[in-house]
Structure 1
Amino acid sequence: MASSSSSVVDMDPDVARRLFEEGATLVLLGVPEGTELGIDYKSWQVGPRFRGVKMIPPGLHFLHFSSANPPHCGGEIGPKTGLFLVLKPREILLANWDPKEEDLDFSASRNEEEVDRVRAKLQDLDPFLGPYPYEVMRKWVSLTDRLTQEVADGLQPLSGRVCAFCDVIPELQLKHTKDRAEQNLPRNDTECQSMKEGLERLPRMKQREGTELRFSHIPKQTYPEGATPAQITQCSMDTSYALETLLDKHYKTQPLNVLGELQFAFVCFLIGNAYEAFEHWKSLLALMCRSEEAMRSHKDLYLGLITVLYHQLGEIPPDYFVDIVSQNNFLTSTLQDFFQFASGPGMDGMLRKRAEKFKVHLTKKFRWDFEADLEDCAPVVVELPEGVTMD
């Protein structure tokens, strides 16, 4: 991990003093050298002297790590694991590395005597604690300002861990050969005549209970029961009914918290490498952007959505747009619908103005043309006049 002195020197003295006095401390003991470990928007490779992170601003944070093979075994970095933490001023959170599980065990933090013992020796530990990366704090806050502890706790898996790869087990525990025979599963490789047959006869897998991200359910049926054909068509073009159903079920008293879910999914994907979170982010964003009537009744929600997207799209690496985000023109077509609805009759003037300003920003930054007919699968590019450059 980077030495503490260089980061603290770069920090504003007043901020450094306040974080030193009020900041929380993560004491992480036994983390193997070479482990990739990070907090929020920055990560490091753990060195031999690493014992944790100090001067952490109170609030919500995302701790993430990837175990690594020793150098003599290739030094490959494993899949990422992350967890959301809410830290209080001057709090000390203590964890020990579990080599068997390749995970951090926080059970020691429940032992007050052990925590007090660490607090008493904190001065001795200080040279081995890296400072919180203050330079990414503003960026982290902009990505999570709508994400409350309550929303994060309700969305992250019961296991408390966000994993880049799903932990899967067979749907049926087939311990004996006769059990496999009853399920028509192959006893050896020679029984299958083709790869297709082999794949079809593999045991069905399911995600291990307690490891699933607990996102809000996005209704597959976008129209009410007993709807007429005309209503079904209307609800397919304007998904407000489905969005109102989701808000009523999950965010009845605080509909703006759905923006926290959008931020949670984005962080889990961008920093935690959880692809299922990206799929949910896409689905939730599409639902919100294609809900014309909801834009009229939830002005504050959509003003917040523009701000959330402004910061999120500013952080996605350029190659993501080519490889993933722009796949099948998802973002450009979804946002084109949003901008079209936002400029429609009866929309709030401030929302209309903010949407137009956001559209100009995206057009200039990414060269997306939201006026074009999006039929191609490749992103649509605007040719800027000579002498005009992107931000």
Structure 2
Amino acid sequence: MAEGDMDPELARRLFEEGASLVLLGVPEGTELGIDYKSWQVGPRFRGVKMIPPGLHFLHYSSVWKDREIGPRMGLFLSLKPRQVLLAHWDAKEEDLKFSDDDDEVGRVAAGLRDLDPFLGPYPYEIMRKWVSLTDRLTFEVASGLQPLSGRVCSFSDVVPELRLPLTKDREEHNLPRNDTECQSMQEGLDRLPRMKQQAGTELRFSHIPKQTYPPGATPAQITQFSMDHSYALERLLEANYKENPLHVLGELQFAFVCFIIGNAYEAFEHWKRLLELLCRSEAAVRARSALYLGLIAVLYRQLAEIPPDFFVDIVSQQNFLTNTLQHFFQFTSGPEVDAVLRKRAEGFKAHLTKKFRWDFDVDLEDCAPVVVELPEGVTMD
């Protein structure tokens, strides 16, 4: 990170008003970053200075003895002007431990000018991109979605669902006494204990209802709500974002950041499911134009930032993205839709068609499963 390219007036203002992260004891070679930028820690590194106030994502990966990079960990921070946060590296946990000792933090803050040569300036060139990807995400929403452990991890901490150390217990659950009892690798895999995430390490995303129709729905209503997911979307908004439904866009941004920067695959899965729910809710498109105008802006920025290797997977998985957006564009083209939203959606569709050469005009009926008529007497057994 270098200050040389920054406007002198901006540099002075950030030096005076910016926050500082003092990170002591971080091993040399550790991969550490903030927001959309990362670097390898050098021998003189003591933290980051001149950080614009607001929401940020600090992330890091320890380096093991064989120089392999460990799993990425990260956390969202809300920084105030001139705030100083102090953390020490815990070698045993390979994690940063933030100090809550006000006296210690005060001493560090008082000596900040002495630390200045060892603090790298915030990479201001990525600030515009970072803000565009998180402009709908508040710290309150982010802290409510972060794991209780306070860390977003690229690899989940897992433990056995059942702890069965005794032979008698293992026999009751059909688990082998030892490795030699398995006759094949598949048998061994099938008999491994079920695992679950360590309590407190799970991302706390909003629950997306699997049942898209209300209790007691008639067959006709079940069919209707299976095509239009507005009922399920309204339940999610009521349960999680009653005060401000637009904050669901913040959750979409949170999931995207945790996936793209935090490398958390479960966040990618939630991003897909939440996006599909939003795009396949026809009645909501008509009723909530502000929400969907915001969705277009969020998606426009996100699709511009997806790395090519991820992008292929996102599009190719059963044509997920093109099919999902095709429903959305079909819904926004109706006469009952707000005129501004309809025009914005048309422009977004044209942009995606030109940039990615996606065809949104294929009849959705062509994407339906093909029913194959079998000859009489032939079965699928």
TM class, shorter-chain normalised?
Answer: over 0.9
Shift of the alpha carbon at 1:186? 1.1
Query: Which residue matches 1:76?
Result: 68
- SS at the partner of 1:169? strand
Q: Which amino acid aligns with 2:112?
A: L
Q: Which amino acid aligns with 2:173?
A: Q
Query: Which residue matches 2:43?
Result: 48
Query: Which residue matches 2:84?
Result: 92
Gaps of 5+ in 2: 368-381
Partner Cα distance (1:327, 1:13) in 2: 48
Partner Cα distance (1:55, 1:62) in 2: 15
Runs of 4+ in 1 over 6 A off after TM superposition: none
- SS at the partner of 2:107? helix
Q: Say yes or no: does 1:217 pair with 2:212.
A: no
Counterpart of 1:194 (choices 178, 184, 203) is 184
- SS at the partner of 2:22? strand
Q: Is the 8 A contact 1:164 1:272 kept in 2?
A: yes
- SS at the partner of 2:26? coil
Q: Is the 8 A contact 2:20 2:84 kept in 1?
A: yes
Q: Is the 8 A contact 1:37 1:45 kept in 2?
A: yes
Query: Which residue matches 2:10?
Result: 15
Q: Say yes or no: does 1:142 pair with 2:142.
A: no
Q: Is the 8 A contact 2:134 2:250 kept in 1?
A: yes
Partner Cα distance (2:56, 2:218) in 1: 47
TM-superposition CA deviations, 1:107-163 (whole Å, max 9, x none):
x2x111101110121111100000000000000000000000110011000000000
TM-superposition CA deviations, 1:291-348 (whole Å, max 9, x none):
0100111110000000000000000012222134432111011001100100013000
- SS at the partner of 2:76? strand
Which structure 2 residues correspond to residues 202-213 of structure 1 after superposition, within 5 A?
Answer: 202-213=192-203
Gaps of 5+ in 1: 377-391
Shift of the alpha carbon at 1:16? 1.2
Query: Which residue matches 1:239?
Result: 229
Shift of the alpha carbon at 1:364? 1.1
Partner Cα distance (1:323, 1:222) in 2: 26
Q: Is the 8 A contact 1:326 1:332 kept in 2?
A: no
Q: Which amino acid aligns with 2:39?
A: W
Q: Is the 8 A contact 2:19 2:83 kept in 1?
A: yes
Shift of the alpha carbon at 1:183? 1.7
How many residue pairs align between the two structures?
A: 367
Q: Is the 8 A contact 1:60 1:149 kept in 2?
A: yes
Q: Say yes or no: does 1:307 pair with 2:297.
A: yes
Query: Which residue matches 2:374?
Result: none
Partner Cα distance (1:186, 1:357) in 2: 60
Q: Aligned residues: percent identity?
A: 77
The alignment's C-alpha RMSD in Å is 1.3
Shift of the alpha carbon at 1:180? 1.8
Partner Cα distance (1:243, 1:205) in 2: 30
Which structure 2 residues correspond to residues 162-201 of structure 1 after superposition, within 5 A?
Answer: 162-201=152-191
Using the size of structure 1 for normalisation, the TM-score is 0.92
Query: Which residue matches 1:117?
Result: 107
Partner Cα distance (1:366, 1:94) in 2: 45
Q: Say yes or no: does 1:154 pair with 2:144.
A: yes
Shift of the alpha carbon at 1:174? 1.6
Counterpart of 1:270 (choices 256, 260, 269) is 260
Worse-superposed segment, 291-300 or 175-184? 175-184
Shift of the alpha carbon at 1:175? 2.4
TM-superposition CA deviations, 1:238-261 (whole Å, max 9, x none):
100000010011111110000000
Q: Is the 8 A contact 2:315 2:322 kept in 1?
A: no
Partner Cα distance (1:305, 1:326) in 2: 22
Q: Is the 8 A contact 2:314 2:321 kept in 1?
A: no
Q: Is the 8 A contact 2:314 2:320 kept in 1?
A: no
1:103 and 1:325, CA in 2 relative to 1: closer, same or farther beyond 3 A? farther
Q: Is the 8 A contact 1:219 1:242 kept in 2?
A: yes
Query: Which residue matches 1:389?
Result: none
Using the size of structure 2 for normalisation, the TM-score is 0.94
Q: Is the 8 A contact 1:39 1:61 kept in 2?
A: yes
Partner Cα distance (2:146, 2:199) in 1: 13
Partner Cα distance (1:104, 1:253) in 2: 34
